[in-house]
Amino acid sequence: MEHLHLLYDLWLPDGEILKYVEPLRAILVEAAVRGRATIYHQYWHQFEPWGVTGFLLLKESHISVHTWPEEDNFAAVDIFPCGPMDVDLIVHLLGEALQPVRERLTRQVRGAVPVNSSSRHPILGRETGRQRDGTTRSGTEVLAP
C-alpha cells in the first residue's frame, strides 16, 4: 500500500503570524476540518521568545507545523494522510490564509516498494526501494504566490 506524504514549505512576507500559537492554531485547525480531517487531539508549543510547533493527531494520520519567524519568516507544514481527507484543499486553504511570497510543495510516496528493484542507500548502507527506471517516487512543485 502506498501513502502520500506532503511537505509544504512557506516563506511569508511578515513573520508576525508565525511567532505565536494563535492565530496559527485556528488557521491549521480550520484548514484540516474543511479538508475533511478528523482531529482526535492537538498539541501546541510556544517557544520563547517566539516560534511555534503544532501537531494535529488525526483519524487519518497527522498534520504538523513548525515555524521559524527569525529565519526568513519560514514555516514547514507536514501533512501525512492515510484516509479520505482532501490534502489539496488543505494546502490551498493554508496558502490562502498565510499568503506566502514563496512556497514549495513536495509530494513523497511512502509505503509500497516495487518488486525486484533495489539499490544500496549511501547513508543507510543497505538496500532501499527504487522504481524500475531507477528513480524514487517523489516530486517537488514550486507554487506561484
Nine cell digits for residue 11: 516563506
Range of the domain at 91: 2-110
Residue 129, pLDDT > 80, answer no
> Per the domain annotation, does 92 fall within a domain?
yes
Instruction: Grade residue 136 by pLDDT with cuts at 50, 70 and 90.
Output: very low
Residue with the larger pLDDT of the pair 54 and 4? 54
d(CA 145, CA 140): 16
Q: How many helices (H) and strands (E) does the chain have?
A: 3, 9
CATH no. for residue 15? 3.60.90.10
Provide the percentage of residues in the chain whose pLDDT is more than 70: 77
Q: For residue range 39-56, list pLDDT tens digits in order.
A: 999 999 999 999 999 999
> Per the domain annotation, does 122 fall within a domain?
no
Residue 132, pLDDT > 50, answer no
The verdict on pTM exceeding 0.85 is no
Q: For residue range 71-124, list pLDDT tens digits in order.
A: 999 999 999 998 889 999 999 999 999 999 999 999 998 887 666 555 655 666
DSSP 57: E
Nine cell digits for residue 12: 511569508
State the chain's mean pLDDT as an integer.
86
Nine cell digits for residue 54: 503544532
> Per the domain annotation, does 26 fall within a domain?
yes
Contact at 8 Å (CB) between 35 and 16? no
Catalytic residue check, 138: no
Contact at 8 Å (CB) between 53 and 66? yes
Which of these is catalytic: 3, 5, 45, 82? 82
Catalytic residue check, 66: yes
> Per the domain annotation, does 25 fall within a domain?
yes
d(CA 60, CA 74): 26
Catalytic residue check, 117: no
Instruction: Grade residue 135 by pLDDT with cuts at 50, 70 and 90.
Output: very low
Which of these is catalytic: 5, 41, 64, 66? 66
Residue with the larger pLDDT of the pair 16 and 141? 16
Cα 65 to Cα 31, 62, 74, 106, 132, distances in angstroms: 13, 10, 11, 15, 34
Helix (H, G, I), strand (E, B) or coil at 84: coil
Which of these is catalytic: 3, 61, 92, 117? 61
Contact at 8 Å (CB) between 102 and 74? no
Overall number of domains in the chain: 1
